[in-house]
Structure 1
Amino acid sequence: MGLLETAHRPADVLQAAALYMAEEFRPDGFRWIKSRRCFERRGQGGRVERMTLEPSRHNRAGSFVRSAVAQLRVDESDLGDWRTANHLLMVIRPAGALDVLCATSCHDLAWAGFRNTVDLTHPETRVARLVALCEQNRQTVLPWFASTRDPQRLVALAPDALLGPFAFVPDLVEFLVPRGQRGQARVDRTRAGD
């Protein structure tokens, strides 16, 4: 039996679950960053994709242990450099958010049927539940990340959650313009919620 099946304290269960998920996501290029409680994948142009885990505040040893994939975030240092050089053309944002291409709470994806929470209370069901969570992430989260990689097809691939009126349209426009994709930056108003 491994630590995932024998751990009792919520912190130990969650660390074992994160290490299990890290092995599942290793072929996809992600690694577990314990200090940030996230899975991280690095790419070209200073691109960093992150899935952040969050323990439930109600976790209690032996009676309740849950965790959630709480946030998705894509940063690109090249985008931050462009925003710094073109500060008069961009949306005003804090200096610490200059690299952010897009981010979302996974709780916001629940409307699309995404179940981001996993119950790890019972040792005998932990592996099966983590397998299901990882599979759901492959079907929902990895395509979400992929939708922001190709500037030429961004609008066609981006989920509606990224294009809504209170979402990331300004951030995506700022991503597209320096890449010569002004046509893509003119988002179809019906997709943007107007």
Structure 2
Amino acid sequence: MTTSGQELSAAQLAERLIGLEVPKEAIAAAGEWMAYRLESDGFQWLKSRSSLERHLDGRLERMRLEGSHWNKAGKLIEFSIVSLEVFDEELQAWRRSNLERTVERPGSMEGIVCATSFLDISREAKAIITLPARRLAAVDRLYEHAKEVALPWFKSSENPEELAEAVPDALLRPTGFAQDLLELLVSRGLSEEARSLIQRVLALGESHRDSFTQGRDLAINGERPLWHSPQSLGWSSEVLGLI
């Protein structure tokens, strides 16, 4: 439930959550409580990143928490799930070995599969835990919401063989993660699934098709797009020999 090496009982975790006054400490205790509730799903609380994280065969899934800028002891303690992220070690290794076939990313993003602002997919991303007597109930509501919204989002990209059909459309927008998902499939040797993903993106609309054509032209002319640019999927499709 926590990476600190100190496992506490449910009663101890609840007591700590209820008793803390400093917002940052109370939010960390809320993260530990959520990790306790999510333990059967494989999540742990990582205090150094204020995140709930799950490791699955080289895959890292992360829910990052963040406190409100308005927090003040005795006045307001509020936090939200702000983002969901997926990283993959095998994909990171593939990119490092295929620098000419991918785009430049920040070092911390070499293994990125996909990510989203939780605020983009949820209207209930926050918990207000100002009053100690209501904290457990507030954190449990957010935990239940994470189970309902965040876990299915993670699952949509978990199985590469099903990814092309399962991921939400929002990940495939022109400045989204279609290129990253495509590279995940290629890193697994799943060329047909990669082509299915391309066809799904092209079916989303004319703007997607125009950007795809522009990306192909960049590749043919020996140019390289920026990461997350609308042209990146078309560029990758040409460079990787998928069309």
TM-score past 0.5 threshold: yes
Instruction: Say whether residues 1:12 and 2:62 are aligned partners.
Output: no
Instruction: State the identity %.
Output: 36
Give the aligned partner of residue 86 of structure 1.
98
Partner of residue 166 from structure 1, selected from 158, 164, 175: 175
Give the aligned partner of residue 62 of structure 2.
50
Structure 1: which 5+ residue stretches go unaligned? none
Q: Assess if the C-alpha contact under 8 Å between 1:49 and 1:72 holds in 2.
A: yes
- Higher share in helix: 2
Give the aligned partner of residue 107 of structure 2.
95
Give the aligned partner of residue 77 of structure 1.
89
CA, structure 1 residues 2+157, in 2 after alignment: closer, same or farther (shift >3 Å)? same
Give the aligned partner of residue 230 of structure 2.
none
Give the CA RMSD over aligned residues.
1.7
Q: Assess if the C-alpha contact under 8 Å between 1:91 and 1:170 holds in 2.
A: no
Where relative contact order (Cα < 8 A, 6+ residues apart) is larger, the structure is: 1
Aligned residues: 190
2: distance between equivalents of 1:151 and 1:91? 21
Structure 2: which 5+ residue stretches go unaligned? 1-13, 209-243
Please report the TM-score for the alignment, with normalisation by the length of structure 1: 0.91
2: distance between equivalents of 1:61 and 1:180? 53
* Stretches of 4+ aligned residues off by more than 6 angstroms: none
1: distance between equivalents of 2:100 and 2:154? 28
2: distance between equivalents of 1:190 and 1:98? 28
Q: Assess if the C-alpha contact under 8 Å between 2:53 and 2:61 holds in 1.
A: yes
2: distance between equivalents of 1:185 and 1:148? 13
Pick the structure with greater CA Rg. 2
CA, structure 1 residues 94+11, in 2 after alignment: closer, same or farther (shift >3 Å)? closer
Please report the TM-score for the alignment, with normalisation by the length of structure 2: 0.73
